[in-house]
Amino acid sequence: MTETSLLAQAARPFRALFESDAKEGLLLIAVALAAIAAANGALAGPYHDLFHAELSWSPIAKLDTLHLWINDAVMAVFFFVVGLEVKRELMAGDLSDPQALRLPVMAAFAGMALPAAIFVAIVGGDPQLDRGWAIPAATDIAFAMGVIGLLGKRVPLPARLLLLTVAIVDDIGAVLIIAFFYTAKIKLVWLFASVAVGAGLVLLNWLHVGRLRWYVLGGLVLWVCVLHSGVHATIAGVLAAFAVPMRQNDGTPLLENLEHALVGWNAYLVVPLFAFANAGVDLRGLGVGALFAPLPLAIAAGLVIGKQAGVFGAVFLAERLGIAPRPAGTSWVQVWGLSALCGIGFTMSLFIATMAFGGDDALYEQAKLGVLAGTLLSLLFGYVILRLAPPLEQPAG
């Protein structure tokens, strides 16, 4: 074998990583590590000041730091893309079939309820910590699918679709949680203005207005109104996305084309920027015991144990009770591995942590530590299970 062929053979696994869905997950891992390195090294001061120092001028007084602009404005784009994806799935995708919807809805619901219950049980009803109950309830689609990309054909296509659909339903639940449980004091004038602008966007859809610029303009106005209403501004992204028509008057796909145009920006700019601004947990002076403080332990346990037990238990019960079968060609060990990957919270978990503990630096750092630890353990656990799981043997004949 020549030296060139040996090099090509050695490089094949790495080439496969970047030719699959894995690159998005790998990018998030790299960005998270960069943020942690910056927050704990010589750049710790500049890193903190970059995101948290008060801006000398801001077009919106409410957003007076770069961190707030990223979390309240840039992340609205993330939620807009999530909204587009959810609407497409509801109208013409896996979520449009009520029968196909039963299993992922059951799995997603159990995978949100059990982590929240574990969190509440560990923090012991501490009113200062209770606000974080929803942090371990979320799944990061890009990260989880990135790990699946690393595994290639070891994960059957129906199993991939189950994970994706559970994560999408999970996102719907997370958006509802943010809207109803992490809302500040409501300002009625701005709330009524938000309703009026949202109704205007719906009217555009009803009148079959196919010009994208009107939806973009309306979405920006809606974001400003929601930002000042007390409801978290990123909800405006989801609402605006639901107003976008599926097709233009000539039949050209509008929503799907817009989603495809934004998904790259979302995956390679918006989410990594958010991750870099929020994943930089300060580990200096912390020992291993810091992980066992009530808040990080509750979050990590919710993600690693709660997600895994909730999703797997729901799939198991659904099949045993005849409600819905597990994905075709998927073994129970593979279902277990997929359930573990649902514990990769990262983006949405960090986002909820900013709303739960953003006003308390010490608790916010603990929450980030719990999210990162739970995500890492779920990633490694799920990857190893799926990597070692034998394929399901098909019956002969």
CATH number for 247: 1.20.1530.10
> Domain span at residue 355?
45-388
- Is residue 22 in a domain? no
Q: Is residue 394 part of a domain?
A: no
**3-state secondary structure (DSSP) of residue 62:** coil
Q: What is the pLDDT of residue 325?
A: 93
Average pLDDT over residues 137-165: 86
Distance from the Cα of residue 107 to its chain's centroid:
16
Q: How far is CA 186 from the centre of its chain?
A: 26
pLDDT digits (tens, 9 = 90+) for 65-97: 999 999 999 999 999 998 998 899 888 877 788
Please give the C-alpha separations between residue 363 and each of 66, 69, 70, 347, in angstroms, as whole numbers: 21, 21, 20, 18
What is the tens place of the pLDDT at every residue in 27-43? 888 999 999 999 999 99
Q: pLDDT tens for residues 167-223?
A: 888 888 988 898 889 887 889 999 999 999 999 999 999 999 988 999 999 999 999
Distance CA 202, CA 245 (A): 9
Residue at 112 is within a domain: yes
Helix runs in 124-270, H state only: 141-151, 157-181, 188-206, 212-229, 235-243, 255-265
Query: Does residue 162 belong to any structural domain of this protein?
Result: yes
Domain count, the chain: 1
The two tokens of residue 81 are 């893309």
**Comparison of pLDDT for 19 and 232, the residue scoring more:** 232
**Predicted local distance difference test score (pLDDT) of residue 153:** 82
Q: Kindly report the pTM of this predicted structure.
A: 0.86
Tell me the CB-side half-sphere exposure of residue 38, using CA atoms within 13 A: 19
Residue 328 lies in a domain: yes
Q: What is the DSSP letter of 292?
A: G
Cβ contact 139:338 at 8 Å:
no
**Residue 278, pLDDT score:** 93
Question: In whole angstroms, what is the distance from residue 307 CA to residue 118 CA?
Answer: 10
Inside any domain, residue 369:
yes
Has residue 90 been placed in a domain?
yes
CA distances from 30 to 15, 268, 273, 275 (A): 17, 12, 12, 10
Report yes or no on 18 lying in a domain: no
